[in-house]
């Protein structure tokens, strides 16, 4: 594989994936570089949405395309917002509001456990699609802490740590994030299959 397209316009995802995939393929392009549109997400699972985004981009540009569908699942909210994590931030995206919404819905629930999931879908020009999943467990804090990262990072404390993802520099988050774990599986697949 000479060129891999990151089928997303999300700057947080692009920053993390670009760093995680460093050295794997000679050239990485983004949806923005190729002026690809981000299709609406009608799926009800991370796998469905990631696959749809990767295949749509691959059909539009002809390169191998990698899409990430991810989100925050809160156990006391029966897994919400989950695949709807971006939607809870409205248009234009407002994650302060989305974090407030999560905290309001949680109220005084004693169970503040949550997890991030990332599903990466890799769509090849010959029609094959492979998916890779990563997950990180943690707890939610209030008020939000830290200015690093993106999305819900300022309220998520990964298990075994004191800092939120919002208080961690990129390299630290990359050592334990859902996206990093999914990418590890992707990298192993690419190396084992000579792509």
Beta carbon nearer to ligand IMP, 12 or 195: 12
Task: List interacting residues with ligand IMP (CB under 6 A).
Answer: 10, 41, 68-72, 85-86, 116, 149-153, 165, 177, 179
- Omega within 30 of 0 (cis) for the link into 143: yes
The structure tokens listed for 193 are: 């299959």
Rounded to the nearest whole angstrom, what is the least distance from the CB of residue 103 to ligand IMP in the complex?
A: 15
Beta bridge partners of 109: none
> In angstroms, rounded to a whole number, what is the distance separating the alpha carbons of residues 114 and 191?
32
Q: Which of 22, 69, 108, 153 is catalytic?
A: 69
Torsion sign (Cα): 148, 90, 75, 181: negative
Asked if residues 6 and 14 have their Cβ atoms less than 8 Å apart, the reply is yes
- Residue 64's CB is within 10 A of a number of other CB atoms, namely 22
CB of 146 to ligand IMP, least distance (A): 11
Which string of DSSP letters, residue by residue, matches 112-142?
-EEEEEEEEEEE-TTS-EEEEEEEEEEEE-S
Asked if residue 7 lies in contact with residue 51, where contact means CB atoms within 8 angstroms, the answer is no
In the bound state with ligand IMP, the residue whose beta carbon lies nearer, of 42 and 160, is 42
Comparison of 63 and 181: residue with beta carbon closer to ligand IMP? 181
Residue nearest to ligand IMP (CB): 151
Q: Is 68 a catalytic residue?
A: no
Q: Which is nearer to ligand IMP, 42 or 126 (CB)?
A: 42
Residues with a catalytic annotation lie at: 69
């Amino acid at each position: 594989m000479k060129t891999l397209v990151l089928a997303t316009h999300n700057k947080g995802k692009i920053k993390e994936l670009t760093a995680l995939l460093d050295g794997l393929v000679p050239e990485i392009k983004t949806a923005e570089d190729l002026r690809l549109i981000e299709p609406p997400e009608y799926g009800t699972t991370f796998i469905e949405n990631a696959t749809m985004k990767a295949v749509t981009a691959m059909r539009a540009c002809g390169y191998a395309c990698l899409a990430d569908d991810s989100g925050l699942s809160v156990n006391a909210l029966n897994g919400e917002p989950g695949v709807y994590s971006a939607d809870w931030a409205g248009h234009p995206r407002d994650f302060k509001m989305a974090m407030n919404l999560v905290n309001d819905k949680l109220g005084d629930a004693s169970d503040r456990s949550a997890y991030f999931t990332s599903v990466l879908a890799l769509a090849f020009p010959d029609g094959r699609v492979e998916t890779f999943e990563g997950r990180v467990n943690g707890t939610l804090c209030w008020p939000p802490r830290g200015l690093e990262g993106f999305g819900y990072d300022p309220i998520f404390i990964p298990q075994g740590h004191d800092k939120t993802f919002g208080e961690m520099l990129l390299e630290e988050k990359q050592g334990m994030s859902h996206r990093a774990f999914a990418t590890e599986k992707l990298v192993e697949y690419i190396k084992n299959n000579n792509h």
